[in-house]
Amino acid sequence: MNFEQQITMTKIQAVSDKGLIAYMAGLGVQAHTTKKYLKELTLYNRAAKKHFVALGMLNEEEGYEVRNLHVSDCIGERDISVIRGTQIKPNHLHVFLDMKDFLAVVAREKDQAFKGDALVLHTWDLLHKVPPYLYQYGYKDLHTWMPNNHSGRQARNKLSAFCACEPGLQHRAMNGMYWGYENATEWCVREKPLRA
């Protein structure tokens, strides 16, 4: 039985659960950043006959990527999440594998890096969704924050190849900033202490 067959979402609200806030703090993400980008989901496990809470990031198909200390799954149709930056018609797009990397970098940079748009894949299977967001949109820079592993390297290579065919678009692989770490989350936790 898959996650969605045994789980029902019963409530969506602003994040207030102390356990969820502590979970994100352990990843270097302050409470105000968690509350800005995520929702608190109350979920009911029909098999266990129990409610539990998790964090959710809305995706482009109105589904939610669901995370807590014990759960990493999706309610509704799985898709990418697009977070618009503070600039109107920005010239750069940031691409992340998952919400933890996105939130850790946002928290570390205090939102300064995100005048441009951001796109969170949630799963490698959705990498093919990136090029349509880039095609003739007018972005000048694609910043990729992929893990330092084989899959991350493959993703960077595919996106570099696309950028080479898109006039005026440059690929900037950000993983050199966290070389020696598995991913951006690990780098943010180890290199920058959590600020209040």
Alpha-carbon gap, residue 194 to 189, rounded angstroms: 8
For range 15-33, the mean pLDDT = 94
The per-residue pLDDT for range 7-16, each reduced to its tens digit, is 999 999 999 9
Predicted confidence at residue 111, as pLDDT, reads 57
Interhelix angle for 184-191 vs 99-109, to 10°?
40
Predicted confidence at residue 108, as pLDDT, reads 85
Which pair of tokens denotes residue 147?
A: 């893990």
Alpha-carbon gap, residue 139 to 52, rounded angstroms: 41
Query: pTM (2 decimals)?
Result: 0.91
**Dihedral over Cα of 43, 46, 51, 55: its sign:** negative
Predicted confidence at residue 194, as pLDDT, reads 45
The per-residue pLDDT for range 33-88, each reduced to its tens digit, is 999 999 999 999 998 999 999 999 999 999 999 999 999 999 999 999 999 988 88
Average pLDDT, the chain: 90
Bridge partners of 170? Answer: 141
For range 97-102, the mean pLDDT = 96
167, 174, 72, 170: which is closest to 114 by C-alpha? 174
Predicted confidence at residue 179, as pLDDT, reads 92
Predicted confidence at residue 133, as pLDDT, reads 86
For range 167-193, the mean pLDDT = 89
> Domain coordinates of the chain in residue numbers?
3-75, 81-191
What is the pLDDT confidence band of residue 157, given thresholds at 50, 70 and 90?
very high
For range 137-158, the mean pLDDT = 94
Within 72-175, strands assigned E span 72-75, 81-83, 92-96, 117-120, 141-145, 170-173
The CATH architecture of the domain made up of 81-191 is: 3-Layer(aba) Sandwich (3.40)
Alpha-carbon gap, residue 156 to 62, rounded angstroms: 27
